[in-house]
């Protein structure tokens, strides 16, 4: 597998030179953050990002993500131009040598949490999701301000967007996703890019909005939309693992054997209720996920693609973007490398 690390560009407080010092670190997961959703990413901007990363002794392994404009998700008349722009961006990324693109199809809101700095028992701070608190939230009042979703909407724009979604059912969203996939995948195949859709986080509807990439059955339905290894998954243990009914290692084995996992996000969580959880250290005695079994499943299915330690706690007094500090993610990376070595060497001797 190829160990990678999320980096938010020049504004990221974590320097590339520090990321390079993490044992086993090979690649960077990043994006172009100053182009509005739906617009074309210029090749020159992508090339500059790649050059910056390579100058630090790393490689640009994954783009996460190229945002899908809401008009595409809604099936609005303007989606055709946004889809053409998406195709052009894929061609520009391929020209720059990018082979993996992660994206999502979550309406309006990307990954969502109820608190950014919840204090855990050990004094560290973590992202948490409390269902009751989220139910009481009103996104129109500015109560959501999380890294990972576009907070640039003015209140009037957000209100209008949410109103558009009031008549959109899950089947409507499936239809719009199918239309998008059948348009962009021939281009992805042509230019050699492997697409990886990220599951909904959390994997259930929020704020009355439909969410569809959230179960084994739905992931299976998704890969059938376009039968190609270029139409693949980003399996995120922390997202799908929040749903108690999902056996995540079994999910890895199922889709790994089909050759449809194109990217992996690995992190641990502690479920605190039916639809509530705390993010925890990758190595956690109280974690709800068996990280060893997850890595073992990846080994059994001969996964060789990129993976990254996902959200981490804020530890040792570190400040910055919640969930994306250096220290805990670096510890997670080293832990995952240790698991990978133990699993693969054990298999070789066994």
Contact 214, 204 (CB under 8 A): yes
CA distance 165 to 1: 39
Residue 23 has pLDDT above 90, yes or no: yes
Mean local confidence (pLDDT), 98-106 = 97
Mean local confidence (pLDDT), 270-295 = 95
Catalytic residues: 198, 236, 265, 310-311, 324
Mean local confidence (pLDDT), 267-296 = 95
How confident is the model over 43-96, as pLDDT tens digits? 999 999 999 999 999 999 999 999 999 999 999 999 999 999 999 999 999 999
* Structure tokens belonging to residue 200: 């909904």
pLDDT band at 5 (very low <50, low <70, confident <90, very high): very high
Mean local confidence (pLDDT), 282-303 = 95
How confident is the model over 154-205, as pLDDT tens digits? 667 888 888 999 999 999 999 999 999 999 999 999 999 999 999 999 999 9
**Which of 112, 80, 100, 10 is closest to 52 using CA atoms?**
10
pLDDT of residue 137: 83
Q: What 3-state class would DSSP assign to 62?
A: strand
Residue 147 has pLDDT above 90, yes or no: no
pLDDT band at 97 (very low <50, low <70, confident <90, very high): very high
Strand partners, 184: none
Query: What's the N-to-C CA distance of the chain in angstroms?
Result: 20
Mean local confidence (pLDDT), 194-219 = 96
For the chain, domains (ranges, CATH) are 2-110+155-267+289-349 (3.20.20.150)
pLDDT band at 145 (very low <50, low <70, confident <90, very high): low
Residue 153 has pLDDT above 50, yes or no: yes
pLDDT of residue 2: 95
The model carries a pTM of 0.95
Query: Can you give the C-alpha Rg of the chain in angstroms?
Result: 19
Q: What 3-state class would DSSP assign to 28?
A: strand
pLDDT of residue 148: 44
């Amino acid at each position: 597998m190829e160990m990678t690390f999320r980096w938010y560009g020049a504004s990221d407080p974590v320097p590339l030179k520090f990321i390079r010092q993490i044992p086993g670190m090979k690649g960077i997961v990043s994006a172009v953050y100053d182009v509005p959703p739906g617009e074309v990413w210029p090749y020159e901007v992508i090339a500059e990002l790649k050059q910056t990363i390579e100058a630090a002794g790393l490689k640009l392994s994954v783009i996460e993500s190229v945002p899908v404009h809401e008009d595409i998700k809604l099936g609005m008349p303007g989606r055709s131009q946004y889809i053409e722009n998406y195709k052009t961006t894929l061609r520009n990324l391929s020209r720059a040598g990018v082979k993996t693109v992660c994206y999502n199809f979550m309406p309006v809101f990307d990954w969502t949490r109820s608190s950014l700095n919840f204090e855990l028992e050990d004094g560290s701070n973590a992202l948490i999701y409390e269902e009751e608190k989220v139910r009481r939230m009103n996104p129109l009042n500015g109560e959501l301000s999380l890294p990972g979703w576009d907070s640039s909407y003015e209140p009037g724009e957000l209100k209008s967007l949410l109103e558009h979604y009031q008549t959109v059912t899950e089947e409507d969203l499936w239809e719009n996703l199918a239309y998008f996939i059948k348009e962009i995948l021939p281009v992805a195949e042509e230019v050699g890019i492997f697409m990886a859709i990220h599951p909904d986080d959390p994997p259930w509807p929020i704020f009355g909005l439909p969410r569809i990439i959230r179960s084994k059955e739905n992931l299976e339905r998704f890969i059938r939309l376009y039968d190609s290894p270029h139409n693949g998954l980003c399996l995120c243990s922390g997202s799908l693992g929040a749903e108690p009914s999902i056996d995540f290692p079994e999910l890895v084995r199922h889709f790994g054997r089909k050759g449809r996992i194109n990217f992996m996000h690995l992190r641990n969580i502690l479920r605190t209720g039916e639809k509530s959880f705390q993010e925890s250290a990758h190595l956690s005695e109280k974690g709800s996920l068996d990280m060893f079994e997850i890595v073992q499943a990846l080994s059994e299915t001969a996964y060789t693609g990129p993976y990254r330690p996902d959200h981490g706690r804020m530890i040792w007094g570190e400040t910055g973007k919640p969930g994306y500090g250096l220290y805990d993610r670096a510890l997670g990376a080293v832990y995952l490398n240790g698991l990978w070595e133990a699993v693969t060497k054990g298999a070789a001797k066994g």
